[in-house]
Structure 1
Amino acid sequence: MDKMASSRKRAGDKKMARKPLTKTMLLPMNAALARDSSLSYHVALDGWRRGHGNRRIVNELTRATYMAWFLQSAGYGDAPNELFQAAECVGELALMQAHESGEEEGWSLDDESVSIFTGILALHDDQLRIAPLHQYENAERRLLAFLHGPERSPIPAPID
């Protein structure tokens, strides 16, 4: 390879190279933001448990479920897939029952379902403490891509 072709190749490689991650992006999100995010999810779960559930709360806990899933997929957690599938199922059933009944709010959650979401939120709280900010932002991008895509779920179905 001649010298000119070699320098063109290197110049082309620079265009495709990623921007280096900053120290901030390599560290977990700041504690105040992590606490706010966590608190929002825990308040949603408590409201649903107390019979104040609605679509917004289901969406909030579904978001927590998917964010925890995407962060686990990046190596931050080892919860069984069934936990995520169960949480997703609880949310879908609540929305379906609300649609059939015409109830817009006042939904409640049984103890087993509370336990499922408690497990998801415990995992996600740990993830918020340890996952680098760039991984969290990548999980958010994956969540948005999923929400705008045709997939029914980002969580793989169990293998029979």
Structure 2
Amino acid sequence: MRTVYLAWFLQEDGYGNEPVRHFKTAEHAVEAALKLAHSANEWVLAEDAVPVFEGLLALHDAQLAIVPLHKIISAERRLRQFLAGTASSPVPDVDPTA
């Protein structure tokens, strides 16, 4: 999820245009996988979430090819702040462009 969140922060800075729902799908898929891991000791990512993760990883790869280093450092700082806080997600629940 760290990479997904970094991609989100960079997209917020203007580097990407993936729908917000893709980021939320990734979050929900990881939450479901963690729940299953705790209850059944089995790590499984929902099959329908795999293409979403692939798309977000491709986005982040493209971002790394063009984003200035100071923006990446800023996104990493935002990730650390999020992880140190109490918010459940840095991604909004509603697509602001919808």
In structure 1, the partner of 2:79 is: 143
Equivalent runs, 1:63-78 vs 2, <5 Å: 63-78=2-17
Deviation, structure 1 residue 108? 3.0
Q: Which has the higher contact order (CA 8 A, sep 6+)?
A: 2
Deviation at 1:100, TM superposition (A): 1.6
Q: Are positions 1:95 and 2:34 aligned together?
A: yes
| Aligned equivalents of 1:155, 1:120: Cα separation in 2 | 13
| Count of residue correspondences | 95
Bigger radius of gyration: 1
Identity of aligned residues (%): 48
Q: Deviations over 1:106-149 (max 9, x none)?
A: 52334311111001001001000000000000000000000000
Q: 1:3-23 CA distances to partner (integer Å, 9 max, x unpaired)?
A: xxxxxxxxxxxxxxxxxxxxx
Structure 1, unaligned runs of 5 or more: 1-61
Deviation at 1:158, TM superposition (A): 1.5
1:55-108 alpha-carbon deviations (Å, 9 max, x no partner): xxxxxxx0111000000001100100000000011111111111122x1xx523
CA RMSD of aligned residues (A): 1.3
In structure 1, what is the equivalent of residue 69 of structure 2?
133
Unaligned runs of 5+ in 2: none
TM-score by length of 2: 0.91
Measure the CA separation in 2 of the matches of 1:158 and 1:100: 30
Q: 2:55 aligns with which of 97, 101, 119?
A: 119
Alignment of 1:31-110 (within 5 A): 62-101=1-40, 103=41, 107-110=43-46
